[in-house]
């Protein structure tokens, strides 16, 4: 990136007092890099700061936080015309950092910020869910409940292991969901444990939902885990761990769009952020941002 350009960091306020982040910023400034920082206070701040950065001519912003911060920055970017969207880089500071990890972005703040400032940008896809956007994964059913119900304090102290604890607790009382999916020439209906629409590869603290997904292929990877009898548990686990098409209990599709009809209003998670709807049309927007 050109030396005279200003890089603007949009920093999740919960991480504002982290010394490793401060050191990383000061170190890059010592290399004559122009960096300024904006700190979020409440929901909506990051999207507003994206618009402000674009209006001020900032050509690259850094989303500093977890997957939720990245999601809000992406939603801010998608409110702008394509030619006015700044490039975006990532400084992963969240609990799981699923999207950054799948993209092989360093979790060390110094290394991540150096890449964010000096790295080249590439065009990547964004996914749309009705009027909302996400960059990584949308989950429904069991996966959505785990993400939504994992307490922030537990994530703070246990990191991604917190999701596994909550998953075990939820599994004991979980009620399967009945739903209906429509995509290119396919009509799938039945009871499912969970479903995911993937632009990225992993979610839920390191769960590799779709190992073949790519963020620049112009496609969404859809994964549905159907209900299965206890006697077939090992078969279902094998299908999850070793993706095959078609599986008996794990269905995988690659598509530009998919429509979901859960039968009742349900919450899904878009990059971990809850979204309530009684039906959702998902579609991919190829090469929508420069990452």
Residue positions annotated with a catalytic role: 273
- Euclidean distance between CA atoms 100 and 202, whole angstroms: 10
DSSP-derived pairing of the beta strands 87-92 and 250-255: unpaired
For residue 107, the tally of other CB atoms under 10 A from its CB is: 13
Of 161, 167, 175, the residue nearest 149 (C-alpha): 167
DSSP-derived pairing of the beta strands 280-290 and 186-198: unpaired
Q: In this structure, what token pair is assigned to residue 113?
A: 């910020």
The answer to whether the Cα torsion of 180, 208, 161, 154 is positive or negative is negative
Phi-psi region of 57 (alpha: psi -120 to 50; beta: other; left: phi over 0): left
């Amino acid at each position: 990136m050109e030396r005279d350009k200003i890089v603007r960091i949009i920093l999740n306020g919960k991480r504002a007092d982290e010394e490793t982040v401060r050191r990383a910023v000061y170190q890059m400034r010592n290399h004559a890099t122009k960096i300024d920082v904006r700190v979020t206070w409440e929901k909506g701040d990051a999207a507003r700061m994206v618009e402000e950065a674009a209006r001020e001519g900032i050509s690259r912003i850094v989303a500093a936080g977890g997957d939720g911060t990245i999601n809000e920055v992406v939603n801010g970017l998608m409110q702008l015309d394509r030619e006015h969207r700044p490039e975006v880089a990532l400084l992963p500071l969240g609990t799981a950092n699923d999207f950054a990890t799948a993209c092989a972005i360093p979790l060390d703040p110094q290394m991540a910020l150096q890449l964010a400032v000096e790295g080249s940008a590439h065009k990547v896809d964004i996914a749309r869910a009705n009027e909302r956007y996400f960059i990584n994964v949308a989950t429904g059913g069991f996966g959505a409940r785990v993400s939504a119900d994992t307490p922030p304090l537990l994530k703070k102290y246990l990191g991604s292991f917190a999701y596994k604890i909550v998953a075990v607790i939820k599994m004991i009382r979980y009620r399967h969901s009945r739903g209906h999916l429509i995509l290119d020439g396919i009509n799938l209906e039945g009871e499912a444990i969970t479903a995911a629409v993937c632009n990225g590869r992993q979610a839920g603290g390191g769960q590799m939902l779709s190992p073949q997904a790519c963020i620049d292929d112009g496609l969404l990877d859809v994964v549905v885990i159907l209900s299965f009898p206890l006697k077939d548990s090992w078969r279902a686990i094998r299908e999850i761990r070793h993706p095959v098409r078609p599986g008996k209990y794990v269905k995988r599709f690659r598509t530009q769009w998919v429509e979901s009809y859960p039968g009742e209003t349900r919450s899904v998670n878009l990059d971990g952020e809850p979204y309530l709807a009684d039906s959702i049309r998902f579609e991919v927007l190829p090469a929508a941002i420069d990452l």
